[in-house]
Amino acid sequence: MSVFLKACRREPTPYTPIWIMRQAGRYQPEYRALRERVSFIELCKTPELACEVTVRAVDQLGVDAGIIFADILLILEPLQIGFEFTDDRGPRIMNPIRTAAQVDRIPERIDAARSLHYVMDAIRATTKELSVPLIGFAGAPFTLASYAIEGGGSKDYYETKKLMYGDEGLWNAFMARLSAAIADYLRAQIDAGAQAVQLFDSWVGCLSVADYRRYVLRHTKAIFDALPKDTPAIHFGTGNPALYPAMKEAGGDVIGIDWRISIDDAWSVLGDRVGLQGNMDPAALLTSPDVLRARASEVLQSAAGRPGHIFNLGHGIMPQATVDQARALVDHVHEASQR
């Protein structure tokens, strides 16, 4: 079994495994050159290209897992929520979800293996090329709901919270549809060959613990409850460490944490029956080699070699980083964590 999968199961490993969120992305010259030729959505929907960029990142960096190249918003298409990717303003939802009539038009179930077949084709192709495990992924229901309701990115989540607080029945109906689709999508990725999955709740940090428990927890839990128990599942959230105990209740073999809490403090709060993934500040990657190594060592020291730690950044790698910086991080983690 690979070191990554062993760490997901909290088993001892000879060193700390590492992969990097967005490890296939804009910081790579090859990726930027490819994007000059094809659009982002074309890249996502062409299995050969998605496989190519996924494998290249693993080969360049020497990481212990790949993550299939895709986007969390792809699932909105079979849910009949129109969107587009813009180079200047990011993703845009065509008709933001604000009414009961719109929610009623969203299918209660999708066949992800069919409607998102290009992701499954990319997974099947990529697993043939990789010597390390491949991670599948999806966006969590709160983060997807926020995109769909706000119409794109948001700083205050005003429309999301207005609907959530103002019409709890409509909110739950929307979240239930999202959760069912996400569970089906992740199961399809596992059936296609993904050896682990990650649920990204990138925007959940805007919520209080009480609101998370009332409006989100059960919908996220429904996803983890629907996944096969023999496939490790990572539950990533950012922006509010106070949410991590509730996120643990929602599910996941591993909780992905950001830099706002130390590894040892997180384990003290969550207990040792869950793995932890993280959590170096992505900005530390942009510093000098000495500072980069020192910051990475601080994370390793906080984890203290306990089984169940997977090294990662606390969020995606920044476009300003270089391949050499990312490779230096991977090499240092492997060398400094030898046991």
- Per-residue pLDDT 10s for the chain (339 aa) are 999 999 999 999 999 999 999 999 999 999 999 999 999 999 999 999 999 999 999 999 999 999 999 999 999 999 999 999 887 778 999 999 999 999 999 999 999 999 999 999 999 999 999 999 999 999 999 999 999 999 998 889 999 999 999 999 999 999 999 999 999 999 999 999 999 999 999 999 999 999 999 999 999 999 999 999 999 999 999 999 999 999 999 999 999 999 999 999 999 999 999 999 999 999 999 999 999 999 999 999 999 999 999 999 999 999 999 999 999 999 999 999 999
71 as an active site residue: the answer is yes
* Domain count along the chain: 1
- Asked if residues 160 and 145 have their Cβ atoms less than 8 Å apart, the reply is yes
Active site residue 260: no
Pairing of the two strands 83-86 and 90-93: antiparallel
How far apart are alpha carbons 169 and 245 in whole angstroms? 26
Rounded Cα distance, 207 and 214, in Å: 11
Q: Are 284 and 292 in contact (CB under 8 A)?
A: yes
How far from 150 is each of 145, 180, 240, CA to CA, in Å? 8, 21, 20
8 A C-beta contact, residue 150 and residue 164: no
Q: Which domain holds residue 262?
A: 3-337
Q: Which two tokens stand for residue 59?
A: 């080969």
Residue of 9, 26, 260, 306 marked active site: 26
Angstrom CA distances, 159 to 54, 151, 195, stand at: 35, 9, 36
User: What CATH number is associated with residue 332?
Assistant: 3.20.20.210
Q: Check 15, 27, 31, 147 and give the catalytic one.
A: 147
Give me the residue label for tokens 């804009």. 26
The CA-atom distances, in angstroms, between 8 and each of 34, 132, 197, 302, 307 are 33, 14, 11, 18, 9
- Annotated catalytic residue 22: yes
Q: Which listed residue (10, 22, 56, 295) is catalytic?
A: 22
CB 127 within 8 A of CB 193: yes
- Of 15, 27, 31, 35, which is the active-site residue? 35
Q: Residue 85: how many CB atoms within 10 A of its CB?
A: 14
Reply yes or no on whether 147 is catalytic: yes
- CB-based contact 16:10 (threshold 8 Å): no
CA distance 204 to 104: 24
Choose, from 9, 71, 111, 211, the residue flagged as catalytic: 71
